[in-house]
Structures are given as C-alpha cells and as structure tokens.
Structure 1
Amino acid sequence: MSLKHKVINWDKIEDELDDYVWDKATSQFWLDTRVPISNDLADWRDLSAVEQEIIKKVVGGLALLDTLQSEEGVNAMREDVRTHKEAAIMNNFLFMETIHAKSYGTILTSLNSIKSINEIYDWMNNDERMQYKVKRINDIYKTGNALQKKIASIFLEGVLYYSNFFAPLWYRGSNKLSNLAELIKLIIRDESVHGTYLGYKFRLTYNELPEEDQEELNSWMYELLEDLMENELAYTEEIYSPIGMVDDVKTFVRYNANKSLQNMGFLAYYENADLDDVNPIVMNGISIETANHDFFSQVGAGYLMGNAETMLDEDYDF
C-alpha cells in the first residue's frame, strides 16, 4: 500500500512560532561573499604571530563544528519534526549552517597564504580537543533519541561555538578586524534563532514525558554538559593561554551554557557567569552596530540585506 504525501498548507497554523521563525530566519538571509574580509588585512598584519595563530585556530575550529552541523546535525533533527513548517525551517537552518561553514573558509583564505590555510585544516582535523567535541556530538546525532539530539545541537551551537567566537568579538570591541567580526555577528544572530527555536521545540516534547523520564533525561543532559565543558575549558586553556584571556573566555562559555539551558526551560547551572561577569570588550564587540554595506564601492562593513543589528541579551530568547 502506497503512502500518501501531504502538501504543506502555509495558511494553516500548526504552531504560531513556526510562522514567526520562518519569517525571522528568511529575513536574515546573507552571504559571506558580500562582506569584504580582505579589508581587514591592515589590522591582520598589525597582529602578532601569536594572535594570528589564535584567530586561525578559532576560525578553523568553527569551520569544523559547522561542517558537522551542516552534514549531520540538522539532518538528524529533521527526522523528529512535529509540524510541516518545522521541516521547512530545518531546511533553512541546514542551508545557513552550510553558509556558516563556508564563511569560515572565506575568512581564512582572505587573510592567509595557502600553506598557512592547509596547516590550519590539518590542525582542526587532528586536534584532540576539537575531535573530541565532534565525535561526542556526532555519536548522539547517530544514536540518540529526538530530545537528546536537540540537547546535543543546542550545546554545540550555544556552548561549544562560543570559546571560538570570543576572540573575533574581543578584537571587534577593540576596533580591529571589523569585517571578520561582522561575519561572526551574522552567524551568532542565526545561531541565536536556531538555539531558541530548538529549545522551544525541545520543551514541547519534554513536557509530554512522564516525570520519571524527565528526571532520567535531566541526568543525562547534565552529565553531557559537564563532560563537554571539561573538554571545552581545557581547549580554552590551550588556545588562549598565550594571550592571557583564559578566565575571560571560560566565563563567556559558562554564560552561554546558562543561556542554552534557559532556552530549553532550565535554570542557570553555572554561578558567577551572568552578563555582568562577561568581559565588557566582548559585549561591546557584539553590540557595535554595523554600517550598511555598499557592494559597488565596498564601503562599510555591514550587510545591507541582512543588517546585523545591535545584539542585546534578550535577542537570545524569543
């Protein structure tokens, strides 16, 4: 007996947030090729070799993580959608994760030699800490249930990315590498939508579970978080020790871990990791408004179609 395939009725509201997120996600569309990263070459050349190496590693690390998300993560979660429009939204997320992964390549090729780029790709494909993140998350994508996969994705995008986001945002807050940071801010804006939407969908299914199953899932989730954070904080020490920013990055990661938990409806887990505890230069880097970009004269650092408006704390939540 053949199965019927049902058309999406875009006029039917199955979940009001689906319509909001579809409009939000599609209105934010952007392309990496329209942000002139090469305009940062003067700033790039002013950085020390150590600083350049850190930027290359954090950008390379992001490329690896977003490659996982675009090739495995979104597809894994797409199997568990609750509505037709949710499937369409996941298609959008998948495409944008591919744009994100490509954007990191654009950053690397715009600022570095081929030899240097190959060295970074070799590093990210073999670094023990980076590979641990990828394997741990991908194992859940392949074997976890619907809620476990959402938790893994939210922790990937909402926690593990942020140690790597820190450096570009810090330099932007210090009035350096503005175009590079522009791409990062566009990606952060996308990821904030992804994380809050998935957190909302997680909570809908979570609330349907018996209390015993909720408690079992909670234990699994916090064990996963602590395991990921142990690796993440060790990674932070390896990357940021040369420039003395380890403590600031750890606070930023813990802050975003709390935000990720809150997106799923849980209380903050880490103490001394509120917004006021985050390095103000980094928050300045997030909040600096972009200029509209003129693609004909290549004046400005922003993106006209997908204006990267000022990021506020509440932008992490719907």
Structure 2
Amino acid sequence: MTNSYYKAINWNAVEDIIDKSTWEKLTEQFWLDTRIPLSNDLDDWRTLSEDQKENIGLVFGGLTLLDTIQSESAIDALRPDVRTPHEEAVLNNIQFMESVHAKSYSSIFSTLNTKSEIEEIFEWTNTNEHLQKKAEIINEIYLNGTGLQKKVASVYAETFLFYSGFYAPLYYLGNNKLANVAEIIKLIIRDESVHGTYIGYKFQVGFNELPEKEQEEMKDWMYDLLFTLYENEEKYTELLYDKLGWTEEVKTFLRYNANKALMNLGLDPLFPDTANDVNPIVMNGLSTGTSNHDFFSQVGNGYLLGTVEAMSDDDYLIGM
C-alpha cells in the first residue's frame, strides 16, 4: 500500500476522549460580541465617575493586549507539540475564540468611548511598563520555551493574568451596572475556563511522562514563574485600582485565581486565599447564570449552561 502523503482527520477514531468532549463544549458555547446589546449600558456608563471610566478603559486595554498575544502567539507555540490531530482542531477553535475576545473589547470601546479616548487607551496599553512586562515574559516562553513550559505560560495567562481585568466588570455586574458589558466578560470567562483546563490537562499528560528529577525541576520553574508574574501583577493592580480603593480586594482575587491555575496544571495551591476570601459580589458574578436576554434576538451566557457548570476545580486533573 502506498504511504500517505497527508492523513485526513477521523473524528470516529478519537485517541483522547478529552479532545472530543472539549471540542463539543467549545462549539456548543460559540458566541459573537455582535449579539450583545452593549448600547443598553450607556445610561449606567454616564453614572460612573471619571476615575471609574478611566479604570474600565485601561482594564479593557490590558485585556485586549493579552487576548491578542493568546490569538497570535500562544496557539502557534502550542501547535508543534500536539499529540493528536483532534488536539490541533481544538487549538484552532481556541485560537479563533481568542480573536473574538480581543475584538469584543473593541466593541465595548466603540460603544462607551470617543475616538480620542480609544486612541489614548491603546497608547497606554502599548507602552505601560507592567503590562508590557507580563506580555514579554509570556511571549518569550512561547518563542523559546519547551513544549511543557509553553503550556504552563498559556494556563497562567488564561486562568490568572486576565483576572485583574475581569474584576471591575464583575464588580459592576454585582451592583446592577453595565450588565451587557459584563455579559461579554462572563462569556469570555466561560471560554477561558475551558481553555485553561484543557491545556492544563495536556500539560499533565506530558509532565507525568518525565523522570522524577525533571518533574521536580519543572515544578520549581513553574512556582518561580508564578512568583515573578504575581509580583508584576501586584504593581499593575495598584496602578489600575488604587484610585478606586479596590487594590487589596483585587489582589485577593488574583491569588485565588493563581491557585486555580496551579490546580489546572495538577499542582497544589500556593496561596492561602480561597473563594470565601474573595468579595462575594465578584464571586457571584463568576457564576454563569442566565441573563435576561431575549433569546429570539440575542444570546445570553445562560444558553447551554449545564455543560459549562460541569467544569469544576477538579476537572481534567490526573494524579501527579
């Protein structure tokens, strides 16, 4: 028989069932920002102080930068180490949705901000010391790290670094403001939850194949990287939230999500912070409850909710 030049992907012969279940989960929860009525939040926007408006703009500028990295660099970095053709298909889906996320922030900007304000936000985003530092740290790993290191960087981005930005819209949602802006954020969080657990699972598969000495070296590297990122994230958080007096609350939220990133990778939590320590208004916003959107014209984040809520802290953890 002639050797194959190129092999067709066969979804009827899946090597890793997690590939198939993740593909199904991601495609079931597909969404686009154009289906969320952001203009309905303009009345709430006008009630915010100038400091609050500035904070929202900078927060979303930072999130745009991170999602741009995830769409342009992360998946290309992960793709060479895929184990199955189905894994590559899942990564393709993730890459597209990261682009959707990045575009969604621009939809928010175009609704809430003037052209000159948007230009100022992107100028700040592209030059801020702490934002650029975390972008450089993550991207350098994507460019030069090992296959496992790249997966760690991706999980840290998805499950930890985004959350300094997510805090503000979740807080407003808990106070009955900016509901449609927060709807987009909750849809993004729902996606990132799947991305982080899936890539964390793929990391664990490779990690468990390492000799014990290399496993210990990898763990040391992972914890060192997390400390470096957290120290920078503290400074970034102070810059974003000091004016509002929210800084310490946000840092607690960051430590909680850093622990979740470690759990996605199969490691023990590093910080003492738990969900009980996080502002309950924000934790309530993290739950993916159904919005009051009209399903005939819009898609709220409650659709196909059951498949998402099945994902918990223990999802995809395989003994280490």
| TM-score (ref. length: structure 2) | 0.93
Cα distance in 2 for residues equivalent to 1:155 and 1:296: 37
The amino acid of 2:265's aligned partner reads M
**Which position in structure 1 is the counterpart of 2:36?**
35
Cα distance in 2 for residues equivalent to 1:166 and 1:43: 17
**Which position in structure 1 is the counterpart of 2:318?**
none
1:315 deviates by: 3.8
The amino acid of 1:302's aligned partner reads G
Cα distance in 2 for residues equivalent to 1:59 and 1:110: 13
Cα distance in 2 for residues equivalent to 1:71 and 1:314: 27
Query: Do the aligned partners of 2:263 and 2:313 also contact (CA within 8 Å) in 1?
Result: no
**Which position in structure 2 is the counterpart of 1:245?**
246
The 1:251–1:309 alpha-carbon spacing in structure 2 relative to 1, beyond 3 Å, is farther
Cα distance in 2 for residues equivalent to 1:88 and 1:317: 24
Query: Do the aligned partners of 1:73 and 1:153 also contact (CA within 8 Å) in 2?
Result: yes
Query: Do the aligned partners of 1:182 and 1:290 also contact (CA within 8 Å) in 2?
Result: no
1:88 deviates by: 0.2
1:149-298 equivalent positions in 2, closer than 5 A: 149-271=150-272, 273-287=273-287, 289-291=289-291, 293-294=293-294
Query: Do the aligned partners of 2:159 and 2:192 also contact (CA within 8 Å) in 1?
Result: yes
1:79 deviates by: 1.3
Question: Does residue 1:131 correspond to 2:129, yes or no?
Answer: no
Q: 3-state SS of the aligned residue for 1:103?
A: helix
1:117 deviates by: 0.5
Cα distance in 2 for residues equivalent to 1:243 and 1:160: 20
Cα distance in 2 for residues equivalent to 1:197 and 1:114: 38
1:102-113 equivalent positions in 2, closer than 5 A: 102-113=103-114
- After TM superposition, the runs of 4+ consecutive aligned structure 1 residues lying more than 4 A away are 295-298, 306-314
Query: Do the aligned partners of 1:289 and 1:310 also contact (CA within 8 Å) in 2?
Result: no
Measured against aligned partners, the alpha-carbon deviations of 1:277-310 in whole angstroms (never above 9, x if no partner) come to: 1100101222362335337767xx8257x55679
Query: Do the aligned partners of 2:190 and 2:288 also contact (CA within 8 Å) in 1?
Result: no
Cα distance in 1 for residues equivalent to 2:307 and 2:128: 34
**Which position in structure 1 is the counterpart of 2:101?**
100
Measured against aligned partners, the alpha-carbon deviations of 1:48-79 in whole angstroms (never above 9, x if no partner) come to: 00000001111110001000110111111111
Alignment size in residue pairs: 313
Question: Does residue 1:60 correspond to 2:61, yes or no?
Answer: yes
Cα distance in 2 for residues equivalent to 1:295 and 1:287: 19
Query: Do the aligned partners of 2:28 and 2:304 also contact (CA within 8 Å) in 1?
Result: no
Query: Do the aligned partners of 1:173 and 1:288 also contact (CA within 8 Å) in 2?
Result: no
The 1:184–1:11 alpha-carbon spacing in structure 2 relative to 1, beyond 3 Å, is same
Cα distance in 2 for residues equivalent to 1:31 and 1:159: 23
The 1:102–1:185 alpha-carbon spacing in structure 2 relative to 1, beyond 3 Å, is same
**Which position in structure 2 is the counterpart of 1:141?**
142
Residue ranges of structure 2 left out of the alignment (5+ in a row) = 316-320
Q: 3-state SS of the aligned residue for 2:126?
A: helix
Residue ranges of structure 1 left out of the alignment (5+ in a row) = none
- TM-align CA RMSD: 2.0
Cα distance in 1 for residues equivalent to 2:104 and 2:71: 13
The 1:119–1:310 alpha-carbon spacing in structure 2 relative to 1, beyond 3 Å, is farther
The 1:228–1:204 alpha-carbon spacing in structure 2 relative to 1, beyond 3 Å, is same
Query: Do the aligned partners of 1:179 and 1:302 also contact (CA within 8 Å) in 2?
Result: no
Cα distance in 1 for residues equivalent to 2:212 and 2:80: 25
The amino acid of 1:227's aligned partner reads T
Cα distance in 2 for residues equivalent to 1:246 and 1:292: 31
